[in-house]
Amino acid sequence: MLAKRIIPCLDVKNGETVKGTNFVNLRSAGDPVELGRVYSDAGADELVYLDITASHEGRKTFTDMVTRVAQEINIPFTVGGGINALEDVDRMLSAGADKVSVNSAALRRPKFIDEITSRFGSQVCVCAIDARNDEDGWHCYVNGGRIRVERTLLDWAKEVADRGAGEILFTSMDHDGVKQGFANEALAMLADALPIPVIASGGAGCREHFRDAFLVGKADAALAASVFHFGEIPIPDLKDYLIGEGIKIRK
């Protein structure tokens, strides 16, 4: 069994890390470069940085930040937000990122996934999926969770894998920032159906939630934000706990 990964996520707006609940009510969580260094030193396996506004000016600010992050940390990191064309991917990789995360752009034009993977390799392409469990089942959303599209979570996830994406980052919008646990039933459904790794996102509130994401949800990695940003769960303590629960974790 491959070692499970712990991944802090940093949402970046105007050069600072922010965190919200259910995709709204944002509050500041500190400098993204400094936080990245702290997480790298604390034993995080990877990091994810998301430019949540991705305006043209914000994109320049974000690219500069990616360059600084690459100089400060020694673990892989993924960047996302406003990745709409191959030149965006090239710019982020040139700035020092290891992977890019695509979401809305891929749903609007699925062939974008093929283009990324054929030019840069599958390992570079993380496909983020924001989904909500509506009355008629799990559906995907775009534009930061604002607009529902008529693609179901499972069908889209299968297509993403078929098109060559290296990983899926699945965020349950219902669970985001609520700290009541990950969407383990949906995670297990994805894990059973897909040949590529699934990263769990949305819902971490305590150490047991990470354990359940791995054991019940069968996730390959677990991503969280506020519990790390605000010091609620130190990463070394979390890793010790998970090892004690019989889960293979990198130390």
List, by residue number, the catalytic residues: 11, 130
β-pair partners for 32 = none
DSSP conformational letter for 124: G
Rounded to whole angstroms, how far apart are CA atoms 224 and 242? Answer: 15
Burial of 197 (0-12, 13-18, 19+ CB in 10 A): middle
Cα end-to-end distance, the chain, whole Å: 15
Half-sphere exposure for 162 (CA within 13 Å, toward CB): 9
Distances in Å between the Cα of 49 and the Cα atoms of 31, 35, 110, 158, 236 are: 12, 11, 22, 25, 21
